[in-house]
A and B are shown apart, each in its own frame.
Chain A
Amino acid sequence: MISDAQFAQTAIRAFTRQDQQISDLQTRLSSGVNDPRVSADPARAMELSALRDLRSDLSTQTDIGRIAADRLAMTDSVLSEVSDGVRELYRISLQANNDTLTREAHGALRVQAETLRNTLLAAANATDPQGRPLFSGNAPGPAFVNAPDGVRYQGDNSATAIQMGRNTLMQTGLPGGQVFGDGQDSVFALLDDVITGLSDPVLGARDTVRANQQATLQLGIQDDPITFDIAGPEGRTLVQLPLSAGSEAAQIAAINSVSAQTGVQAQAAPDGVGIRLSAAGDMTLSNQTSPMGNLASRPLVTLQQLDSDGTTTSDPVALRPAHLERQELLARSSAKVGHMAEMHAAVGALGSTLDSRLEQIAETRLTVDQAMSRLNDVNVAETITRLQTLLLTQQASQQSFVKIAGQSLFDYLR
């Protein structure tokens, strides 16, 4: 038997519970999201938490990726400009290879080369939209600086990269040393050599100097020795000569040591200036290099034709160091054109890889957003249906309570 007091208490508790449930559903509908507490649905809460982490990570990767994409786009643009500049350098080298050009024309080419040097230096020190140098790697400051001995690379040659996902490094640039070269291999060294080649005293020098039967050989003075090819009636060979002061005897000895192979003989000049070369026919000197790597920026070898009695018959002709030979400069320029094209393509590939990655991230982000929406957002139709059911239940229980509580046997006592 249930007492009236207990019946009322039970009913009140049921009404309170229904009110709470209705209130919760209304709150969910108003906010539009499901109950975020873990106790309401542990599995959903944990899945949502993981999805939030993932979405946050993807969002950050997208932001970083866009900055990297801007940087790569800037690099691509700069390299396009640099490629144009290197092709211009090739054209200058090609024109400089023309012996028929006047001094004025050579002068104009030199001015063009100097302007091009400044342009390329500015391009090499370009920065991204955030002010970071494009080609200095992770080192601060500009990538290239003008030094007394030429343009010097002062970056750290590291390839900048960003992390887009755990253990996924995306390269965002190319090291300056790789793009522009370093030391003698750099495009600036090539430019400096082209400019040197278009300037006196190298401008008037030849890739090969010739003489017939008698000639005066004059050599410069420096600490390091040089080598050059010497050819005569008997053949051609490479000879190394010291250039330090007072080494004339050694120079003569070195030339005479290969006389059997070349047919060229050397002796001290009667007037004490230079070395007298003699042969039974034509003599040629070419390919002057420095075995110690100290590349000269001026001719160190001149050859002056003499007649049979030792009288000069023409002006001395200087021999271009091998690295300043016109053909060599042309070949180096051509190689740089190809190299810049490769670098340009490499940056393009990096950009393409980054774009693919960003697309992947966008697709993943969409999937994550959809999953989060499914878990987080209130299913309005379902919630309203539940709410209506609860309201109906509440009405029915209230009406039944009133009906039952209002009836009593006392009503029928007479």
Chain B
Amino acid sequence: MSDMIHIARSGIIAARTALAVTSENVANVGTEGYRRRDVASVSNAGGQTTPTTQPTGGQGVSVSEVRRAFDQLVAQRLWTATSAQSASAAHRQVADSLETRFTPGENGLDGTMRDFFDSLSRLAASPADRTTRASALHGAQTLATEIVATAQGAAQLRADTVAQAQMTTAEAQGILQDLHVLNERLAHLGQSETIGHHPLADQRDALLQRAAQLLPASVELGADGRATLRLGSEAGPVLLDGTGPTRLHVSAEDQLTLHMTAPDGSRRDTRMLTGGRLGGLAMGLGALDMAAQEFDKLARDMVAGLNQLHRQGTDVLGQPGGDLFTMDGWQAKPAAANAGKVQVQVDMARPQPLNGPLELVYDAGGPGWTARDAGGTVLATGHDRLVLPGVTVDLAGAPRNGDRIVLEQVTGRAIDLRLAIGDADELAAAADVLVAPALGNAGAASLQLSRDAGEPSPDALDVVIADATVGLVELRNPSDDSLVATGTLAGDGRVTLAGLNLQLQGVGQTGDRFTLRPTAAGSGNGATAQAMADLRSARGDGGYGVLDSLSNFQADLGTRAAAVQRADDTAQARLDSAAAEDAALGAVNLDAEAARMVELQQAYQASAQAMSIARSLFDTLLRMI
């Protein structure tokens, strides 16, 4: 009987242990990182326990170990999917914000641009009307303001993205530190399969899951459960090992760069951030920078086209028009060694010739900031504001003694776009040379004149179609009809005579004449304004119009945003799948635990009943004595 009691006792103990483990599972159903436990039992070896008993097959059951449901391969797949989904979500957020800033519509940038070109068309029809001129000037100013505001919005989005990357890096740094502490505790425990390891392993896995959300990390678990993290892949730089965590910080002068300083002091920089929120922000930053470059180019092309035409026109007083827009500005570059943090804003009223680059140096005990030009001449001093010729520099923040900022002149940025004229009379709406068909022309052709940049306006000339069948045209002096130049029209109606680029459009007849006459002050022709207005849409030579270019740019942003959204949805689906696989392995299901409890309860009751029967047998034997 004693062997029965021992066996029953072992069954009770084993069942009770299993019940405790199941209870722990139930209690931790909602604990982040917790992995289901189960018990492994083994039957005890049997033998002849007493001289008076027969040998039995075994001596009951005992719990050999409490196992933790964990598979590193499955977990690594989950971390990889988590990293990818976090990256795509972060990228999506930036892409959506960028697309929103350029959303097409009546109230968007394209609406403002349309209004501007419409005002130019109206100006072409009524170039001498003061109200129309004022309206065109206002349209130009509004367009410049809108372009600058859009560029500033994109710059702010960039700054926010960089700030978010810095916060992500700081958060990742904290996780690495926590993992390091955990590693040391795991090392102290020594063995990886003792029950005491399991809670630490749960915490470790929870931290690794959070790390995967932030960084593209490859994880290697040692026999003692300690985690070694590398950036990106197994061959990547170490983020955490036995010596401690790597110090991280990011910068974004151009691309997002992760700067790593190992515990031994060695430094390494990388831009290969392919996963985690940091990777998504890096991709988003790349998309932002590419969009900013494309937007700058779009603005430059628009300004170049408008300025070239405006320079060839004449204003109300008959003066040649200069530039309509400028894109000159200043860029502030704080020195890398600066100890303080300063925000710089540069406003340029009108372009002024300054001997740049300019250097600003802070003297805490003196006048504050001192601005010097390239020749060392002091231009201005001040604590918060420096007023230079044509440029105002506002500085805010907490500078330190000796901090240095270099101001470099830049050109071609949308954020620096400004109107170059201040008065409606300066709008060069008229062409400096008026081209008109002579009265009595038999044909229905029109003549367009263009000149290369820098070419002076021609004197009075006549263009005569000498032979319409072969396209022979002549340039003649109107005073005496003497021949100046002759040429043949190309297939597209173009010919260059005496430096003048002419294009005949329509059907002309032999003998048709076109007059080229210098425009007088106050002329009612709006040919230059019309040419500028025509820049809005596609040109006959295959070039894109300004509005077309903007529309294509917006379409590209939207297409890229849609692609990022699809990639995010796909990454989310993959994460769901990996999470399901991981949960199937190690997560707690209450119904399963409840069924297990019922099973164990029955086993406990059965063993208890066996013990009761053994006692009853012993009592019966005692009564017989």
Cβ of B558 and Cβ of A37 under 8 Å apart? yes
A167: Cβ under 8 A from any B Cβ: yes
Least Cβ–Cβ distance between B444 and chain A, in angstroms: 10
Contact A37 to B100, CB < 8 A, known contacts A6-B579, A53-B537, A137-B524: yes
Stretch binding the partner chain, chosen from B9-17, B104-112, B275-283, B464-472 = B104-112
A407: shortest Cβ distance to chain B, in Å? 9
A4 to B: closest C-beta gap in Å? 5
CA distance A399 to B496 in the complex (A): 80
Q: Does A132 contact B (CB under 8 A)?
A: yes
Q: Tell yes or no: B557 within 8 A of A by CB.
A: yes
Contact A156 B517 (CB under 8 A): yes
Q: A166 within 8 Å of B by Cβ?
A: yes
Nearest A residue to B105 by beta-carbon distance?
A36
Quick check: A1 and B118 within 8 Å, CB to CB? no
> Which of B561, B589, B598 neighbours the largest number of chain A CB atoms within 10 Å of its CB?
B589
CB-nearest residue of chain B to A169: B446
Task: List residues of A (61-76) whose CB comes within 8 Å of B's CBs.
Answer: 61, 63-64, 67-68
CB distance from B117 to the nearest CB of A (A): 8
Verify A49–B525 contact, CB threshold 8 A. Answer: no
Q: A52-B111, A162-B125 are known contacts. Are A2 and B583 too (CB-CB below 8 A)?
A: yes
Interface residues of B in 480-521 (CB under 8 A from A): 505, 515, 517, 519-521
Partner of B104, one of A36, A68, A130: A36
CA A321 to CA B221, docked complex, whole Å: 122
Contact between chains at A1 and B555 (CB < 8 Å): no
- Residues of the B chain whose Cβ atoms lie less than 8 Å from the Cβ of A158: 434, 436, 515, 525
- Residues from chain B with a CB closer than 8 A to the CB of A162 are 124-125
Q: Does B114 reach chain A (CB closer than 8 Å)?
A: yes
Write the nearest CB–CB distance from A64 to chain B, whole angstroms. 4
Q: Are A5 and B588 in contact (CB under 8 A)?
A: yes
| Contact among B118, B517, B557, B594 with A408 in the assembled complex (CB-CB below 8 Å) | B594
Once bound together, how far apart are the Cα atoms of A410 and B23, in whole Å? 12
Report which of A10, A49, A139, A175 forms a contact with B439, defined as CB distance below 8 A: A175
Whether, in the assembled complex, A267 has its beta carbon less than 8 Å from a beta carbon of chain B, the answer is no
Residues of chain A contacted by B436 (CB below 8 angstroms): 137-138, 156-159
A201 touches B (CB below 8 Å):
no
- Given contacts A67-B126, A68-B125, A162-B125, whether A1 and B584 have CB atoms under 8 Å apart is yes
Does B71 reach chain A (CB closer than 8 Å)? no
> By the criterion CB–CB under 8 Å, are B118 and A38 in contact?
no
How far, in Å, is A158 (CB) from chain B's closest CB? 4
| B552 and chain A: residue at smallest CB distance | A46
Tell me the chain B residues, 565-592 only, with Cβ under 8 Å from chain A: 565, 576, 579-580, 583-584, 587-592
Contact of A410 among B96, B547, B594 (CB under 8 A): B594
B residues 523-538 near A (Cβ < 8 Å) are: 523-525, 530, 533-534, 536-537
A1 B559 Cβ-Cβ under 8 A: no
8 Å CB interface, A18-56 against B: 36-39, 42, 45-46, 48-50, 52-53, 56
Asked if A53 contacts B592 (CB within 8 A), the reply is no
* B590 in complex: contacting residue of A4, A59, A136, A166, CB < 8 Å: A4
Known: A3-B587, A5-B583. A52 touches B106 (CB 8 A): yes
B597 interface residue per 8 A CB criterion: yes
Cα–Cα distance between A48 and B558 once the two chains are bound (Å): 14
Say whether B103 contacts A36, CB under 8 Å.
yes
Q: Which residue of the partner chain A has the closest CB to B548?
A: A53
B561 to chain A: closest CB distance in Å? 4
Asked whether B82 is an interface residue with its Cβ less than 8 Å from the other chain, the reply is no
Question: In the complex, which residues 141-163 of chain A have their Cβ closer than 8 Å to any Cβ of chain B?
Answer: 141, 156-160, 162-163
Distance, CA A2 to CA B111, complexed state (A): 52
A38 contacts B126, C-beta separation under 8 Å: no
- Cβ distance B502 to chain A, nearest Cβ, rounded Å: 16
Scan A123-142; emit 1 where CB is below 8 A from any B CB, else 0: 00000001111001111110
For B558, B561, B588, the residue with the greatest tally of chain A CB atoms inside 10 Å of its CB is B558
Report B-chain residues with C-beta under 8 Å of the C-beta of A159.
436-437
Question: Contacts A36-B104, A53-B114, A413-B598; is A46 near B555 (CB within 8 Å)?
Answer: yes
B65 CB-CB contact with A under 8 Å = no
Find B128's partner among A1, A36, A131, A413 (CB 8 Å cutoff): A131
A42 touches B555 (CB 8 A): yes
**Residue A367 is within 8 A (CB to CB) of chain B in the complex:** no
Known contacts A39-B562, A132-B126, A137-B524, A156 near B589 by CB under 8 Å: no
- Report whether A140 and B537 are in contact in the complex, using a CB–CB cutoff of 8 Å: no
Closest Cβ of chain B: how far from A190's Cβ, in Å? 19
Q: Are A38 and B584 in contact (CB under 8 A)?
A: no
Within 8 A of A (CB), among B590-610: 590-592, 594-595, 597-598
A3 and B522 within 8 A (CB): no
B472 CB, min distance to chain A CBs, angstroms: 24
Residues of A within 8 A of B110 (CB): 49, 52
User: For residue B583, which residues in chain A have a CB less than 8 angstroms away from its CB?
Assistant: 1-3, 5-6
- Extra 13 A-B pairs, beta carbons < 8 Å, given A37-B100, A45-B104: A3-B29, A3-B583, A5-B588, A36-B105, A48-B104, A49-B104, A53-B114, A56-B115, A57-B118, A57-B536, A156-B517, A158-B515, A163-B124
